[in-house]
Amino acid sequence: MSDDRLIVALDVPNALEGLKLADALGDSVSFYKIGLGMLTGGGLALAQELKDERGKRIFLDMKLFDIGATVEAAVRGLAQFDIDFLTVHGDPHVVAAAKEGAAGKDLKILAVTILTSLDRSDLDAALLKEGDTSAIVLERAGRAFEAGADGVIASPQEAKLIRDLPGADGKLIVTPGVRPEGAALGDQKRVATPARAISDGADHIVVGRPIWQAADPRQAAQAVIEELPARQG
């Protein structure tokens, strides 16, 4: 049985591989993330195929960042596709422009706070101000909500703090950086288990390598779903 709290990242090289993987996962997965790596390999066509022919929900992870007018135009174009979630960087002008571009469409704009593969030393290298990583994430999340974001992307380690923000009511928290107990971290640094991410307030978890690199991806997806706490309410 699928559970749309699990979003599987289809980080395979091209649309054909993506479709093969989705078909292997079958009805165990109902929500897919298509990222930048897939874009030049037919990502938008794959999104449409999964939506129209297989009834899946689609999260397009483009992490857009540009001047407002360009972001608005890009989102207006992407909103013509039947997509459920789209990511932009969490800077307020980017979020506000993306919301303009998505006006009238049922497309949720999710703001990236700080990539889950980055820690304090990476932020230093990027000349981002001193201070605790989670404090910066919280500040960016709060500002993104004020700018109209429908939700944020953050590490599961920050989900609880974000859920408690005054502006977080009704907003989505989506967490990559999720690793079942014992799974390889890869380049992820700020991680937690699927169960912990959901119980700390995430609405959806994004899991990539622990599923698509597994010997049996369907079984790996089912194991993640079985680990999730019962839905509330």
Q: How many CB atoms lie within 10 A of CB 154?
A: 32
| Shortest Å distance, C-beta 11 to ligand C5P | 5
CA torsion sign for 173, 52, 71, 130 is: positive
Nearer to ligand C5P, 101 or 177 (CB): 177
Our CA angle for 93, 94, 97, nearest 5°, is 85
- Measured in Å, how far apart are the chain's first and last C-alpha atoms? 20
Q: Which residues bind ligand C5P (CB under 6 A)?
A: 9, 11, 35, 61, 112, 115-117, 153, 176-177, 186, 188, 206-209
Asked if residue 207 lies in contact with residue 9, where contact means CB atoms within 8 angstroms, the answer is yes
| Shortest Å distance, C-beta 9 to ligand C5P | 4
Asked if residue 140 lies in contact with residue 111, where contact means CB atoms within 8 angstroms, the answer is yes
| Shortest Å distance, C-beta 233 to ligand C5P | 27
Distance CA 35, CA 150 (A): 19
Nearer to ligand C5P, 133 or 232 (CB): 133
Enzyme catalytic residues: 63
| Shortest Å distance, C-beta 153 to ligand C5P | 5
Nearer to ligand C5P, 36 or 45 (CB): 36
Asked if residue 188 lies in contact with residue 177, where contact means CB atoms within 8 angstroms, the answer is yes
Nearer to ligand C5P, 38 or 147 (CB): 38
Q: Which residues pair with 109 in a beta bridge?
A: 86
Q: Which of 12, 53, 9 is nearest to 29 (CA)?
A: 9
